[in-house]
Amino acid sequence: MPLEDQYWVTIPQLYASFVYSTVYEGLRNVISKTFDIRSPPIVSALAGGAASTTTQLIFVPTDIVAQYMMIYNNPQSFAGSIKNVGVTDCVRNDGLEKRLTLGLRVIRAIYILDGLSGFYRGFFSSLLLYIPSSMVFWGTYYNALNLLTKLEMKFSSDKSGEGNLLKRQACSGAIGGITAAICTNPLEVLRIRIQVHRTGYVETFRRLYAYEGIRVFTKGLAPRVINNGIYSFLIMLGYESVKRIAIKDELAGAVTW
């Protein structure tokens, strides 16, 4: 992907991450107070699932554009058949390669072929993926964090459990990301097929069952596990570090770490 095109994907997705964290923190506070739920795994799972819904409004269009940019050089190997490469064919025949970047040309092609709805193709499948993925992540994260804290308090000289909190949070993030990737991998395959193949849900389900079968549970799982593990490790490291810097001293005791 050309360097000048990467910001079409990177900047909106960074903004989506900012929206997610803002909505997540706000909802976690509302859910905890409104429903009097004191369990961090439950509160965070509910807040994370709800926050995922809002971020998909930003993430889905940019993800669709990114997918077409990635398969542009060899679309038939990824799109399944000739009828599914309409967007890339439109880009190849637009004659605008010297005037517009690839990202803008893909956006133009999607709009010409499918209108505004083309940018939200597979939106429901994205919700099916990211809501449970977020809930699994946060539920696993806090349970892993509690386990790591207990282990450190048992085997370390620091009985407070505060000394290596940031490290434990980052490791718990990696565990949560890996678990979420394993649990939701079939939904990820479904989402990508719907968005790139430009087929409906019934047809996509039929193809997955006919051509993939049980392999749908493991297709692309290894790189996704590695990606989610590293990404979640770094995200939690940065997220919790920013919280430590931003939180006021008088409110530190009320924050769920």
More confident residue, 111 or 85: 111
Domain termination residue (choose one: 66, 95, 121): 121
Residue 244 in any domain: the answer is: yes
Q: Which domain holds residue 69?
A: 1-121
Residue 160 in any domain: the answer is: yes
Which residues have CB under 8 Å from 126's CB, separation 6+?
56, 59, 60, 63, 191
Q: Which residue is associated with the tokens 């509910």?
A: 46
What pLDDT is recorded for position 199? 77
The full DSSP string for 101-166 is: -HHHHHHHHHHHHH-GGGGGTTHHHHHHHHHHHHHHHHHHHHHHHHHHHHHHHHHSS-TTS-TTHH
Overall domain count for the chain: 2
Q: Are residues 90 and 115 in the same domain?
A: yes
Residue 195 in any domain: the answer is: yes
Residue 127 in any domain: the answer is: no
Q: Are residues 153 and 227 in the same domain?
A: yes
Token readout for 218 is 């493991």
Q: Is the pLDDT of residue 211 over 80?
A: yes
pLDDT per residue as tens digits for the range 119-155 = 998 899 899 999 999 999 999 999 999 999 999 888 8
Span 231-243, mean pLDDT? 91
Task: Determine contact, residues 75/93, Cβ cutoff 8 Å.
Answer: no
Q: Is the pLDDT of residue 170 over 90?
A: yes
Q: Are residues 172 and 208 in the same domain?
A: yes
What is this structure's pTM?
0.80
Q: Are residues 166 and 98 in the same domain?
A: no
